[in-house]
Structure 1
């Protein structure tokens, strides 16, 4: 990677640790995941845990490494070279769930769950999407009704990565159906032993081996101590979690597509046609060079976004949210194009399982859909951009370039904006 100059010494250290941990993984394990002989990569996640590569941003007192986001994305990229779903599964239990508990949990919750998540003793999942929900999280119908000194939980969540194996789940449930979208939900830490059932393990197009399942909560009682954050306070949890979740998705996509570019580069440097190696043909070499260029652009974007997230308490929260949403949309769409272009330059052989490119394409089909579809990312970005522009004009922060043209004044009457 030609980005050492942007890395801290800590980042370089953990990159090297991650690379060695990744190189030690038996290729058969990855094949078994894709063939779903392995339903969920518990052993692999524990392998990363032994090297200090999960829960990395959790404080050391709770079993983590106390790293920064800009260091963690380096680790995510390296682990994701084993496959998009490897980092999806690892990231949910080793980043999203612990980050949420660390940010909103009580001291008791932190000490109960974080050290065990950090070692891979237990695994976590995040339960947002519902059969009738999708992008409309705050229309969730999973309910939690007050019952004594606890809550009675009923409902279903689907497409839950790790749902088939998780020991604890962060569940968004409606606790006040009469309130508006931002005040109706509460997040609960629900333990599988409380009675959680896995109803259906999905037959996915790609991303096999992540234990993606439908999870059922059938009249489960959970105590008040299971509430994460405030009752009816799920909106604040969601707003915080979508920032690392979305730009983390972008970071792992970079790692997941990198092998496709590496394989395509090596193949086109060896394969001969019409008497010469095919990378001598500009139709091939230009496309490979463009893939390398766009991967560098993606990496630059995600490094910049990580810096913004790290400094989020000093920046406007909605601005950071826009950067994360843009990163998720741009990087995932660009990486999908890179994967397809790598198949194109390799030809028919890349459409077989002789090379991993076809698997990478299958897996990356998920990248633009989960953690909020890219259409939702566009919706977030356009709204915030217009707000930022309006605020900048009102504050006189920038020059109004509208008048830097010959007929700016004379043509005022032509500026008819309609009713």
Structure 2
């Protein structure tokens, strides 16, 4: 048997471009997003000027080809940026995530040239933002149970139904809406339609009063006899469910990166506090109980980061990244919930008040275990992939 001495190494170093993106996102988060983050959370409002600045920084269409106004960056760059933004403001990062992972990526991957020219170029630059509309009152984890209908009328669809929990529901100018055209075909009868805000019959429901990510607007959207031109359908007839699942696979990387950032942000605050806060004449960091907490936090965060970057790298290499993305989201979201809770504990009473930020990060962390596929759904995805 021939034995080779050549070793295949794993490079854990970021490229110059990735480090530049990391620094730019970190600087933007600290200098622009941090000053008003508590007020935005309290008032449940995200400043439109901040959306404009996110677009100007290139954060709204990072993976989109420069041909359509995007940054042409890899998925690892995107995950790094989401992580840095999420350390400070998870509301900003979820707006970024939906626009990048679900809307822009989906349009570029599956849309036709006319759709890209009309919508993608403006979405990628942040001139407008998009919303992804899959969830319904009776279709959350069971995405096949679409009650929103798109009746084929020849040269247009007549859209009727309600979508729930839509991120950027009121802010978005363009919505990608999944709807059932032929119920007899089950999920193969679902289509994805591009619906513009302001179309007759399209209305926005009340803003949800959420526990976390409060500055991002989340609404129900209602469609009553909305006429959608046939040219606004993405892909062939019946492609909608495959479109939704394909985009969500990539979207999980964004949410995993968000969870990672929330955890890392809470850890950094806890470490700083432990070095500054004194009890019995010494910084609390010198107490072994605190050291153990911080050591465990740092270890779990590093493990989550490797999972996130692995999934992003596999996507960039054109590999099947479904399992890796599900694992990254499952683990990183659990880490975010655990680390933020421990960060509050390390802060003691101060952790329970808003000005120290960690209570907000704990509230923000919970949603990462729920949206774009609950933790239970991720386990089902992983189990299914194990059999391949």
Matched, 1:363 2:364: yes
Contact 2:86 2:92 in 1 (8 A): yes
Partner residue, 2:167: 161
Give the whole-Å Cα distance in 2 for the aligned partners of 1:28 and 1:262: 17
Partner residue, 1:329: 330
Question: Which SS does the other structure have where 2:168 is aligned?
Answer: coil
Give the whole-Å Cα distance in 2 for the aligned partners of 1:72 and 1:90: 10
Matched, 1:214 2:220: yes
Give the whole-Å Cα distance in 2 for the aligned partners of 1:33 and 1:215: 23
2:192 aligned residue (187, 202, 212)? 187
Question: Which SS does the other structure have where 2:206 is aligned?
Answer: strand
Contact 2:102 2:247 in 1 (8 A): yes
CA, structure 1 residues 27+77, in 2 after alignment: closer, same or farther (shift >3 Å)?
Answer: closer
Contact 1:55 1:118 in 2 (8 A): yes
Report deviation, 1:37.
5.2
Partner residue, 1:13: 20
Give the whole-Å Cα distance in 2 for the aligned partners of 1:161 and 1:56: 19
Contact 1:41 1:210 in 2 (8 A): no
CA, structure 1 residues 240+35, in 2 after alignment: closer, same or farther (shift >3 Å)?
Answer: same
- Write the mapping of 1:307-346 to structure 2, written as runs, cut at 5 A: 307-312=313-318, 315=319, 317=320, 320-346=321-347
Partner residue, 2:206: 200
Partner residue, 2:253: 247
Contact 1:41 1:86 in 2 (8 A): no
- Write the mapping of 1:92-131 to structure 2, written as runs, cut at 5 A: 92-131=98-137
**TM-score normalised to the size of structure 2?**
0.93
Matched, 1:300 2:306: yes
Question: Which SS does the other structure have where 2:32 is aligned?
Answer: coil
Q: 1:319-375 CA deviation, whole Å, 9 max, x = no partner?
A: x21111111101100121011111112212101113100001111111100001100
1:149 aligned residue (135, 150, 155)? 155
- Write the mapping of 1:394-409 to structure 2, written as runs, cut at 5 A: none
CA, structure 1 residues 51+344, in 2 after alignment: closer, same or farther (shift >3 Å)?
Answer: same
- Write the mapping of 1:84-95 to structure 2, written as runs, cut at 5 A: 84-95=90-101
Give the whole-Å Cα distance in 1 for the aligned partners of 2:52 and 2:102: 16
Partner residue, 1:416: none
Give the whole-Å Cα distance in 2 for the aligned partners of 1:70 and 1:275: 44
Structure of greater Rg: 1
Residue segments in structure 1 that go unaligned for 5+ positions in a row: 389-419
Partner residue, 1:67: 73
Report deviation, 1:154.
0.2
Give the whole-Å Cα distance in 1 for the aligned partners of 2:167 and 2:369: 16
Q: 1:77-128 CA deviation, whole Å, 9 max, x = no partner?
A: 1121222221001221244201111011110110111221122221100001
Partner residue, 2:378: 377
Contact 1:173 1:187 in 2 (8 A): yes
Partner residue, 1:413: none
Give the whole-Å Cα distance in 2 for the aligned partners of 1:256 and 1:208: 14
Q: 1:182-218 CA deviation, whole Å, 9 max, x = no partner?
A: x120000100121321112111111112110000011
Give the whole-Å Cα distance in 2 for the aligned partners of 1:255 and 1:26: 14
- Equivalences, count: 377
Give the whole-Å Cα distance in 1 for the aligned partners of 2:287 and 2:88: 30
Partner residue, 1:267: 273
Report deviation, 1:153.
0.1
Give the whole-Å Cα distance in 2 for the aligned partners of 1:27 and 1:299: 23
**198-207 or 170-179: which moved more?**
198-207
Give the whole-Å Cα distance in 2 for the aligned partners of 1:300 and 1:89: 24
Report deviation, 1:28.
4.5
**TM-score normalised to the size of structure 1?**
0.87
Contact 1:260 1:360 in 2 (8 A): yes
Q: 1:20-46 CA deviation, whole Å, 9 max, x = no partner?
A: 2223315443223201252x4432222
